[in-house]
Amino acid sequence: MKIVRRKDREIGTHEATELLSSCEYGVLSTVDKDGQPYGVALSYIYKNNCIYFHCALNGHKIENIENNNKVSFCVVGKTKVLPEKFSTEYESAVVFGAASEVQGPERNSALLWLLEKYSSGFVEEGEKYIDKLSKVTKVLKVEIEHISAKARR
């Protein structure tokens, strides 16, 4: 379990999951076979205590996950720079878990959830787009083992 250093800024699991639900993008962090960290911004959906995202069939992110499926995923909500205080108001959450590819009905549901989140006004067109690119798209999920979140408001 990861411990938040600033206990006075720690926020609870309920608030952290609300943040995961409301943010538009997050950063997935993986590690390659040589131990080099790699972080990549991506669109995602939070459902059923998992982070779902889609990607190409191969690439650095996929290679890293195949080598070591332990990942972290970070989102940052509202921020406000406080120049006179040399600080920033913020809210953020980091999840830790294992990434894996999903298939079948779960895969289809994840793609529809992503469509509803990012293109809610274009569902019919989006379903056709999903069908067209389905063979060149992977869907992965991060099963959340732990959430760490904090805020300065």
Residue 130: give its domain's CATH number: 2.30.110.10
pLDDT value, residue 115: 95
Tell me what the mean pLDDT of segment 121-126 comes to: 91
Domain for residue 109, yes or no?
A: yes
Both structure tokens of 20: 């995961």
Supply the DSSP string of 94-151, one letter for each residue. Answer: EEEEEEEE--HHHHHHHHHHHHHHH-GGGHHHHHHHHHHHGGG-EEEEEEEEEEEEEE
Contacts (Cβ under 8 Å, ≥6 apart) of 84:
none
Of residues 2 and 49, more confidently modeled: 49
Domain assignment present for 54: yes
Number of domains the chain contains: 1
* CA-based nearest residue to 88, from 152, 14, 12, 16: 152
Q: What is the pTM of this model?
A: 0.91
